[in-house]
Homo-oligomer: A and B are copies of this chain.
Amino acid sequence: MTARRVVITDVGPRDGLQNQQKILSVEQRIELVKAIAAAGVPQIEVGSFVSPKAVPAMASTEQVFSGLRCDGFATPTVALIPNMKGYELARDAGAKTVTMVLYGSEGMAQKNASMSMAETEAVTLDILVLAKEDGIKVIATIAVAFTCPFDGSTAQSTVTQLVAKFLEAGADQVVLADTIGAANPQQVRELCAPLVRRHGAEKLGCHFHDTRAMGLANVYAALESGIRRFDSSIAGLGGCPFAPGASGNVATDDIAMMLQQMGYETGIDLNKLMQASDLAQALTGTAPGGRAKAWLQGHLIKQAS
């Protein structure tokens, strides 16, 4: 990975769909994942192994995995897991990479996972041991790494210690998640730049929501801090069912456009990405769609005039 290479993980089929009123079928979820992959997005979070009672949209994620496997799907996939049971389900479904969620605040740990921060840490350490035996990669995502809707600002030292602890324990990557879209670019820079210097860009990622129009500003601040891995969501689908005030993730549409125009390599074909975005909007009926589409259409208008 060169300094101009940025790796996008589209989390729309998980973080996006879990917040939609409309619940998609397994076939529709597979169709969306394939459309995102066809645009060249290098990694896709295809679902989560959570309680179907808590998050009905993520029921039958094992069928999404098996359907993709039967079709010889080649793009690396990720499954989000909330606990040990989720890990076992993901492993049994054939997941090669799992994302386990840690928390920057007690309030969010309780609301989102019904555990204390320490309990999620202990479970993640157990999962890391098993995953090593099972040959499964583990991404540790720190939710509310910047601000929590219940507990307020997250201390930088809390996050810094979590990052060091879990990379040392063998996590393949740690993702800093602005779960509710409350971070500002200065805060992003202050948290990320020292972490990149200490651990290297390969080991770190960022996950931003565009709740307050600051999504791409935070991406830019993270880029300037050396971060080269980002989560984003096709068509800006997203939110968090347990985090008041959270709206859509940064749209893959928008981040891919910005990165391309800034000369970064993402491997993404913008025109094919717009097709995936159209599909996400058609399937859900509610996706905001990012802004890239209107822009690219405006461009076409311009070239015709």
Contacts and interface: CB of A to CB of B under 8 A. Distances in A.
A245 B290 contact: no
A265 B216 CA distance: 22
A187 B220 CA distance: 12
Given A216-B217, A220-B220, A184 B262 contact: yes
Contacts of A220: 185, 217, 220-221
Contacts of A184: 258, 261-262
Most chain B Cβ neighbours within 10 Å, of A212, A213, A214 = A213
A186 B223 CA distance: 10
> How many copies of this chain does the complex contain?
2
Contacts of A258: 184-185, 212, 214, 217
A279 to B, nearest CB: 20
Interface in A92-128: none
A221 B220 CA distance: 8
A150 B247 CA distance: 35
Given A186-B262, A262-B186, A263-B186, A245 B213 contact: no
Interface string A213-257: 111110111001000000000000000000011010001001001
B302 A149 contact: yes
Most chain B Cβ neighbours within 10 Å, of A150, A185, A247, A292 = A185
Interface residues of A, number: 39
Contacts of A216: 185, 213-214, 216-217
A211 B244 contact: no
Nearest to A214: B216
B150 A212 contact: no
Nearest to A181: B295
A219 B210 CA distance: 16
A254 B295 CA distance: 21
B245 A292 contact: no
A259 to B, nearest CB: 9
A130 to B, nearest CB: 36
A161 interface: no
Interface string A268-305: 00000000000000000000001110110011011001
A85 to B, nearest CB: 28
B262 A150 contact: no
Given A213-B210, A290-B213, A244 B185 contact: no
A254 B213 contact: yes
Most chain B Cβ neighbours within 10 Å, of A210, A224, A251 = A224
Contact of A245 (B150, B224, B257, B298): B298
Contacts of A294: 211, 245, 247
Contact of A301 (B185, B215, B219, B244): B244
